[in-house]
Amino acid sequence: MPTRLDFDIHRSVARLDLSPAQSGIFTPGIEAIDITDGQLRRFNALANDLNKAMPALTAEQVAGVARRVLRTAAAGGQSPFIASRMRRAAEMKALSRDTDWTSAPEHAERILGLIAYLDDPNDLIADDIPVIGRLDDALLVDIAMDTLREEVEDYAEFRRYRFCEAARRGIDIHGLALDRKAWQVEREDELRLERQLRRVRGSEYAGGAAERVFRVC
């Protein structure tokens, strides 16, 4: 039998009944979740700040996602959806703390707002609830990735480049004078060289295809 979502009008909260008898899902430590109207408004306001195209979620929709996560997390184990989004959250936290990386103001504001929510234990779903305690956090990270994906992926590429460049020079990354602007210049230089090499490799000279001349101008 599916999990039932009840409304207690006296407390103005949505109560998600997760008892095994009602849901058929056995997850030790979970009996019910209370979602207050204020918490849901805060969640939806942040979701809209992160992605203007995101419509507000209802308590029923959050409950539906929670049920699906519990069903797919075998024997109360970890949810792959939540785990992957929380790894993205860790990347955003690293990005926000890195003094060598400067984000555009609109990106920085979104990331800081999201991190503040992630670090707040008094959010939509209490973090200490087994399996789904980070579900609301994961949903917000997923929503944010529509607008922040390029920023996060650029930062990941910057970190890889910085690590390799420091290793090449035999120094610690903190001793490497490399910020976002310098990395972008070096990346553009590499892309230009790569395009040039493609053109050269695609050219055929007097020896035919078997005798390609490697030329760098």
Most confident of 4-13, 36-45, 193-202: 36-45
Q: Which of 6-10, 12-16, 31-35 has the lowest mean pLDDT?
A: 6-10
| Average pLDDT of the segment spanning 11-35 | 49
In this prediction, residue 94 has a pLDDT band, given cuts at 50, 70 and 90, of very high
CB count, 10 Å around CB of 69? 18
How far is residue 97's CA from residue 161's CA, in Å, rounded to a whole number? 18
Backbone angles phi, psi at 127, to 5 degrees: -65, -25
Give Dmax (Cα) for the chain: 87
Nearest CA to 144 among 109, 99, 191?
109
How far is residue 39's CA from residue 127's CA, in Å, rounded to a whole number? 14
pLDDT at 97: 95
Q: What is the CA radius of gyration of the chain?
A: 24
